[in-house]
Structure 1
Amino acid sequence: MSVFDIEIDALTGVSAHLAQYRGKAMLIANVASKCGLTPQYAVLERLHERFGPRGFTVLGAPCNQFMNQEPGSADEIAAFCSATYGVTFPMTEKIDVNGETRHPLYVALVDTPDADGYTGDIRWNFEKFVIAPDGAVVARFAPQVDPEDPAVIGAIEAVLPG
């Protein structure tokens, strides 16, 4: 089973089956609007614009599990991201990334090790995963790693389909 077999709703509430991204490279990040790392939204948007024409997308997954830093409704989250950071990349419904109510998407992601060998629970907002066009999870990056860090860019470029 690949991440492309997982169903998740879009932030707008409609079904956003991940199969629509089959054949594309992706970067998935759990996101929050009231976090010290929230400025990463702008960097994620730059990646989305830079690599989008080459078969890439960023997918943001709002999560309120870390000190309630994503308290808003779907409409509030969408308005904040668009107005504050110009976000155009797709966003999922607000989900849990840890615990008994962990969304199946994150069940599929958390066993992937980062560069230090860490696997398991998501540590904070803006933990990043790079997905290959076949749905394989190929890289994991800690929340504090800048989305334009050379290691992140290298992982994305290594799996671009074009």
Structure 2
Amino acid sequence: MELYAHPVTLNTGEQTTLEQYKGKVLLIVNTASKCGFTPQYEGLETLYKKYKDKGLEVLGFPCDQFGHQEPGSDDDIAQFCSLNFGVSFPLFKKTLVNGHDANPLFEALKEQAPGLLGTKRIKWNFTKFLVTSDGKVLKRYAPTIKPSAIEKDIVKLLPVE
């Protein structure tokens, strides 16, 4: 299935696909509000604000599979992100990224950009996937990689002005 065809649900409950992001560079991240990496929301928002008008979309998918670090409802998560980090990039419904019931979008991302030593499993919150404007999953970044360290890779994919 083409990446853009995957059904996704915004944190407002609205069902959609990634089709609306076709032609844009995507940074897709599984997020959590009570994680040691939670401050990365700030870096993600900085990238989003800096490059959204140049063709970048940051897509946040809250996940509670790692240490129960995303216990709140979708409304709680949106409020937390907005109040604490000024998040304006799209947030989606809380989702599973590993296991039998994993979101098919994350299954596709893991298949196209395996982790260290070819592992498919996502190891923790704030794993980031960089997708080219034509829908190819270019790279997976570990949770320890800060958003600012990804900026140079993003810039290479954006249209030259």
- 8 Å Cα contact 1:26-1:131 kept in structure 2: yes
Question: What TM-score does the superposition give when structure 2 sets the normalisation length?
Answer: 0.94
Question: Runs in 1 of length 4+ with deviation above 6 angstroms?
Answer: none
Closer, same or farther: CA 148–131 of 1 in aligned 2, 3 Å: same
Q: After TM superposition, list the pairs within 5 Å mapping 1:59-70 onto structure 2.
A: 59-70=59-70
Match of 2:141 in 1: 141
Aligned equivalents of 1:20, 1:161: Cα separation in 2? 18
Q: Structure 1: which amino acid aligns with 2:125?
A: N
- On the 8 A contact 1:42/1:85 being kept in 2, the answer is yes
Q: Which amino acid aligns with 1:40?
A: Q
Give the conservation status (yes or no) of the 8 Å contact 1:110–1:120.
Answer: yes
1:120-142 per-residue CA deviation (whole Å, 9 max, x = no partner) reads 10010000000111111001100
Cross-structure match for 1:41: 41
Query: Any stretches of 5+ residues in structure 1 without a counterpart?
Result: none
- Distance in 1 (CA, whole Å) between partners of 2:132 and 2:2 is 10
Residue 148 of structure 1 aligns to a residue in which SS?
helix
Instruction: Please state whether the residue corresponding to 1:8 is helix, strand or coil.
Output: strand
Q: How does 1:143-158 map to 2 (within 5 A)?
A: 143-149=143-149, 152-158=150-156
Q: Name the counterpart of 2:114.
A: 113
Residues 12-161 of structure 1: pairs in structure 2 closer than 5 A: 12-111=12-111, 112-114=113-115, 116-149=116-149, 152-161=150-159
2:35 alignment partner AA: C
Assess if the C-alpha contact under 8 Å between 1:16 and 1:92 holds in 2: no
How far off is 1:15 after superposition?
A: 1.3
Which residue identity lines up with residue 113 of structure 1 in the other structure?
P
**Please, which runs of 5 or more residues in structure 2 have no aligned partner?**
none
Instruction: Give how far 1:103 is off.
Output: 0.3
Number of aligned residue pairs? 159
Please give the per-residue CA displacement for 1:42-83, whole angstroms capped at 9, x wherever unaligned: 000000011111011100000000011001001100000000
1:157 Cα shift?
1.6
What is the CA RMSD across the aligned residues, in angstroms? Answer: 1.2
Measured against aligned partners, the alpha-carbon deviations of 1:86-114 in whole angstroms (never above 9, x if no partner) come to 00000111000000011011011112135
Sequence identity (%):
45
Equivalent-residue separation in structure 1 for 2:103 and 2:119 (angstroms): 17
Alpha-carbon distance change, 137 to 72 in structure 1, aligned in 2, over 3 angstroms: same
Counterpart CA distance in 2 for 1:42 and 1:107 is 26
